[in-house]
Structure 1
Amino acid sequence: MFTLSVKADIRKLAKALDDVARKQLPFATAQAINATAEKVRLAQRDNMREVLDEPTPFTLNSMAIKRATKSKPVALVYVKPVAAAYLLPYEIGGKNKLNSKALLKPINAKVNQYGNLPRNLVKRLASKPNTFIGKVQTKNGLIDGVWQRTKKTRGKRGGLKLMVEFTDAHEATQRLDYKGVGKRVVAATFRVELERAVAKALATSR
């Protein structure tokens, strides 16, 4: 987690305000912080789309906000815990493996529109009488995964078809740079949002 302070912008604007406008500043500050936080959230989502390979809606929607209030002018833009666990290597480095489980690589199994295996597919495949989970020696070496026994057809003997391969995790090379994205958005946005919020607060208070 990292912190971005906007106190300098608030103090600078406060000096230029009269007493009436200065009374509206705490409320306007919370509004401006929340508006900026929303822009940071959207920018982080856009960045995920650029850095990651077709991120799912679950991943994109993992960006959330804890909003600022007049009494506590601090907003938190964060990644929800489940997604944070598998996105962390794309921020600080490390292996892209979740909860120490092998990565699942679809071979002959149907995937969704994002290229991912549907939830619980491995369990469903393994429950079928013509499939099993295990290691099989092939011409490419020993492969661990979900295998399907294929039927013998005319002119073709039965065999095994690899549905899903269990592969070892590898180093995540992409970097999301949450801090960099956040700093750029705050620098470009907050002062404008603060001035807009003060003007709106003054307009509605009269």
Structure 2
Amino acid sequence: MPDIKGLHKTLFAIRKQIPFATAQALTSVARQIEQAEKKGLQRQLENPTPFTVNAVRSTAARKTNLIAKVFVMDTAASYLDPFEFGGPHKLNGKALLNPKNIRLNKYGNLSRNKLAQLKANPNDFIGTVTTKAGKSINGVWQRRKGRKVKSRRKRSPNGERRERKKQRAPKLLLRFGNALPVKEHLDYFARANKMAEALMPSALSQAMAEALKTAN
């Protein structure tokens, strides 16, 4: 029966295409989720760096390995973790660096070697300064130049020299503090699961249709 044989041949060809079609569908959905997660980072975080956004990657599935992955590179994942699961910001050092009177890069962050540059500047120092209000602040400070005196100070009526003006208070550049709790939430996993559930049926259907054309 030629019709039965032809049908059997077609079904056999389709069966051979199923792993390839499934891999294509998985990869297509993974790529879409990757782009959506990148946009999610840009929406939820304030001016994120390209390094952070591009840390979201995806890997393709293959017919011999029907797994497609969407993931975040380890370095970025370590400091993005509290934005998904909650908790305090991750600190690069022992304290949170809170910029006060210092230039930041275009992403609103300290440059990588900024702290080292400040330490090397003889006009800057790290320590605790007590303000006029009696508050102790620990951080990086900049010594200020004394005010210029136009004329030599005269003696007071009793013959004693008048007190010199006190040295100007140092300027706070960076304040050291404790890690603050993260307020933003990325919804990374919720977004990925929702998209996978919504996109996979149509992606698989389309891939199988293409496989059927190839089989014929």
What range describes the TM-score normalised by the shorter chain of this pair?
A: 0.7 to 0.9
| d(CA) in 1 for partners of 2:13, 2:145 | 83
Letter in 2 for 1:72: N
Aligned residue runs from structure 1 range 8-157, under 5 A = 18-98=11-91, 101-138=94-131, 139=133, 141-154=135-148
Change in Cα spacing, 1:119 to 1:100, as seen in structure 2 (3 Å) is: closer
Relative distance call for 1:140 and 1:89 in structure 2 (3 A) is: farther
The answer to whether 1:186 aligns with 2:179 is no
Structure 1 124/204 Cα, relative in aligned 2: closer, same or farther at 3 Å?
A: farther
Deviation per CA, 1:1-41: give whole Å up to 9, x if none.
xxxxxxxxxxxxxxxx9443332111111111111111111
Partners of 2:98 and 2:145 in 1: CA distance: 24
TM (norm. structure 1) is 0.83
**Is this contact kept in 1: 2:96–2:178, CA < 8 A?**
yes
Q: Could you tell me the percent identity over the aligned residues?
A: 41
Decide which structure has the larger Cα Rg and report it. Answer: 2
Q: Deviations over 1:31-86 (max 9, x none)?
A: 11111111111111111122222211111111112321111101121111111111
Q: Partner residue of 1:168? A: 178
8 Å Cα contact 1:85-1:98 kept in structure 2: no
Matched residues in 1 for 2:45 and 2:120: separation?
A: 32
Q: Work out the number of aligned pairs and report it.
A: 190
Q: Which runs of 5+ in 2 are unaligned?
A: 1-9, 150-164
Shift of residue 179 of structure 1?
A: 1.6
Deviation, 1:201, is 3.9
Are the counterparts in 1 of residues 84 and 187 from structure 2 also a CA contact under 8 Å?
A: yes
Letter aligned with residue 191 of structure 2:
V
Equivalent-residue separation in structure 1 for 2:105 and 2:93 (angstroms): 24
| d(CA) in 1 for partners of 2:188, 2:134 | 40
Give 1:47's aligned amino acid. G
CA RMSD for the aligned pairs?
2.2
Provide structure 1 residue ranges, at least 5 long, that are not aligned to the other structure: 1-16
Alignment counterpart, residue 169 of structure 2, candidates 138, 153, 159: 159
